[in-house]
Amino acid sequence: MPASEKHVAKVLAYLNENGESKTLKKFEIKAETLSRYKRRKRFFETKNPKILLLDIETARMIFGGWNTGKQYVGHGQIIKDWFMLGWACKWIFEPDTKSDFVTGKEALLRDDSRICKSLWKLVDQADIIITHNGNSFDIPKINTRFFLNGLPPPMSYQTIDTCRVGRKYFAFSSNALNYLGKLIVNKEKLHTSYQLWIDCENGDQEQLDFMEEYCIGDTTLLEEVYLELRPWIKSHPNLAVLMDAQEQCCPNCGGFDFESNGGYYTTPQNRYESVRCKSCGAVNRKRSSEITKDQRKALLVPSAR
C-alpha cells in the first residue's frame, strides 16, 4: 500500500536534518524507497508545464487565372478564400487526442467559427505549443482565423517547430514530417490525395471524418518525433522556469537526475561544468562559473574585429 503524504513528508523532514543513512535505519526503508519519496515530493511541489502538440488542416484558396504557369495572383482574383477545415491537439504524454472539424454544412458555408472557438480554449491554456512547420504555417493561420472570427489573442506561449529543428541541427534529406517519422520512429502518415481536400470543401462528411483521422495521426506522430529530437534542441524553452523547480532541473525535459563526465561549456571569459540529463540525454551547463575571481582578473580578452 502506498505511503501517505504525511508519512512521506515526515521521512523527508528527518532526511533533511539527519542525512540518508540515519533515515534509512530509523524508518527501516530501502534507498530505492527513499528515492521514490523524493520523486513524489518533486511531483507535488513542481508545476507541470502545459505542452500542447497541434496540427491543423485548411481548405484551398480558390482564384481565377489565365494560364497554369508561374504567375502573380492578386487579391482581386480570389473567388473563395481559405478557411480551417479542422484541428487535432494533444497534451504531451496524455493518451487522448482532442480534435474538432467542420461539419458538411459548415464546409459548404466555409464557416470555421465553431471549431476556432474550441481550438482557442486549448491554445489559451498552453505554455508551449509544438508543431511541424507551425511557425511558418499553423500558427499564423490560426491567428488569422481567430482574428477574423472575433476572438481575442490567447495567452502568451512559446513554440517549438520540429521542421525548423530539423533544418537547424541536422542535415536530413527531407524535413517533412512523414520522412522524419519513417526515419526516426518507423511510422508514416496516412496516405491522402488532392481529391480529399476537394471532397471536404464540398461537404462530404465521410471524407471530413477521414481528414480528421489523418490530422489526429499527424499529431500523435509529431509527439514521437519531437521526443526523439528533444535532447538536441539547444534553444528549447526552459521547463525549469515553467515548473517553478526548487532544484536543478533539465531545461529540455524537466528531469532532475544528471551525470557529469568532466566536460565544460566555455565562453571567451568563463567556464561552466557541463552535465547530461539522465532522462532525455540533453547536455546542459551549470550556472555557477568554474573560474575564480582571481583567475578571471588574469584573463585576456580577444580584441574585437
pLDDT of amino acid 237: 94
Spell out the residues 6+ positions from residue 14 whose beta carbon is closer than 8 angstroms to its own. Answer: 22, 23, 26, 27
Burial class, 293, CB count within 10 angstroms (exposed 0-12 / middle 13-18 / buried 19+): exposed
| pLDDT tens figures, 234-273 | 999 999 888 887 778 899 988 888 888 878 777 767 777 8
Has residue 41 got a pLDDT over 80?
Answer: no
pLDDT of amino acid 266: 74
What is the Cα–Cα distance from 137 to 129, expressed in whole angstroms?
13
Nearest to 181 by CA among 48, 55, 52: 55
The domain defined by 51-63+75-231 carries CATH number 3.40.930.10: no
Q: What is the pTM of this model?
A: 0.82
Listed by start position, the domains of the chain span: 5-45, 51-63+75-231, 257-298
| pLDDT tens figures, 196-228 | 999 999 999 999 999 999 999 999 999 999 999
Backbone φ/ψ region at 128: left (φ over 0), alpha (ψ -120 to 50), beta: beta
> Given CA atoms 272, 164, 243, 282 in this order, what sign does their dihedral have?
negative
The amino acid at residue 2 is: P
Radius of gyration of the chain (CA): 25
